[in-house]
Amino acid sequence: MASRLPGAVTTQPENDRAPNRDGTVRDGGERENESPPEQELAARVRGLSRAFGERRVLDGLDLDVAPGEFIALIGRSGSGKSTLLRALAGLDRSVTGELTVNGTVAVAFQEPRLVPWKRVLANVCLGLRVADARAAAGAALAEVGLTERADAWPLTLSGGEAQRASLARALVREPRLLLLDEPFSALDALTTITMHRLVVRLWAHHEPAVLLVTHDVDEALTLADRVLVLAGGRIGFSCRIEAPRPRDRNQPELTALRTRLLAELGVDTEGTK
């Protein structure tokens, strides 16, 4: 099912610059002339804008999400990452521009947002319209290693368990586009590594396109096929990562990219800012 949001803005994609020799694209990640037809993409965004009062948070943003692609989206706090995700999830009807999502979308947020008065299995089933919702939810919980906590109340779960329940709830919908808004940022380092492995395993198995918002450049480098930097209301920088997974974040190409991404975020790695 394709959902389309016709908007008032008809900005032409202007992000058609050739990539640099290192495969990065400055000031615009999308190159219209290379794009496949809209219906073949998991999502296409053209000229997307969103203002809150006088403030334009998204300002003519273009983005193509290929089927099965794993994208990490980084950007300074307040740059509009969650605003973009909400638009893609169909949760914000006040955006303008063109936004097409082909197929089911599911979202997992920073806080797991489980309903406290429903047990874990019931949370995963919530709103699910399939023949045997409980069996589907049980299978999703098994995939995230949470079978034993199916009858638990959400408030008795650890942070990592709650996030896994949230992932199961997203996955059981078999999304073509999975939106993850900083899902690991509240977890400790060890749990985060476990969650990274889980997400990569689930992604490889179910093959949704993933758009992961993160503050963590290393997380982006570890997980993504493509890293986008949101700045000035648009995709200001885009780079592809070809390195096979699992990745060693200290390998030279990733180290160089980390420095570059931090610079794009305005972080001085010499420590003078």
Ligand X SMILES: Nc1ncnc2c1ncn2[C@@H]1O[C@H](COP(=O)(O)OP(=O)(O)OP(=O)(O)O)[C@@H](O)[C@H]1O
Which residues of the chain form contacts with ligand X (CB under 6 A)?
A: 52, 57, 75, 77-83
At residue 236, the 3 state secondary structure works out as strand
- The DSSP line for 67-126 is TT-EEEEE--TTSSHHHHHHHHTT--TT-EEEEEEES-EEEE-SS----TTS-HHHHHHT
Nearer to ligand X, 80 or 208 (CB): 80
**Which member of 15, 49, 79, 82 binds Mg ion (CB under 5 A)?**
82
Among the listed residues 132, 180, 143, the one whose alpha carbon sits nearest the alpha carbon of residue 165: 143
Nearer to Mg ion, 81 or 169 (CB): 81
Stretch that binds Mg ion, among 42-50, 77-85, 223-231, 256-264 (CB under 5 A): 77-85
Nearer to ligand X, 32 or 111 (CB): 111
Quote the crossing angle between the two packed helices 159-171 and 133-143, to the nearest 10°: 130
| Bridge pairing between strands 234-240 and 226-231 | antiparallel
CA distance 148 to 120: 10
- Binding partner of residue 52 among ligand X, Mg ion, none, CB cut-off 5 to 8 Å per kind: ligand X
Nearer to ligand X, 78 or 90 (CB): 78
Cβ 117 to ligand X, closest distance in Å?
27
Cβ 235 to ligand X, closest distance in Å?
13
Nearer to ligand X, 25 or 229 (CB): 229
- Binding partner of residue 33 among Mg ion, ligand X, none, CB cut-off 5 to 8 Å per kind: none
How many chain residues bind Mg ion (CB under 5 A)?
Answer: 2
C-alpha of 254 from chain center: 20
Nearest residue (beta carbon) to Mg ion: 82
Nearer to ligand X, 81 or 226 (CB): 81
Is residue 6 within 8 A of residue 173, CB to CB? The reply is no
CA distance 273 to 267: 7
Cβ 210 to ligand X, closest distance in Å?
17
- Binding partner of residue 77 among Mg ion, ligand X, none, CB cut-off 5 to 8 Å per kind: ligand X
Q: How far is CA 94 from CA 8, 50, 98, in A?
A: 11, 7, 12
Cβ 59 to ligand X, closest distance in Å?
12
Nearer to ligand X, 109 or 203 (CB): 109
At residue 240, the 3 state secondary structure works out as strand
Cβ 253 to ligand X, closest distance in Å?
26
- DSSP label at 3? E
- The DSSP line for 172-212 is TT--SEEEEESTTTTS-HHHHHHHHHHHHHHHHHH--EEEE
Cβ 64 to ligand X, closest distance in Å?
20
Binding site for Mg ion (CB under 5 A): 81-82
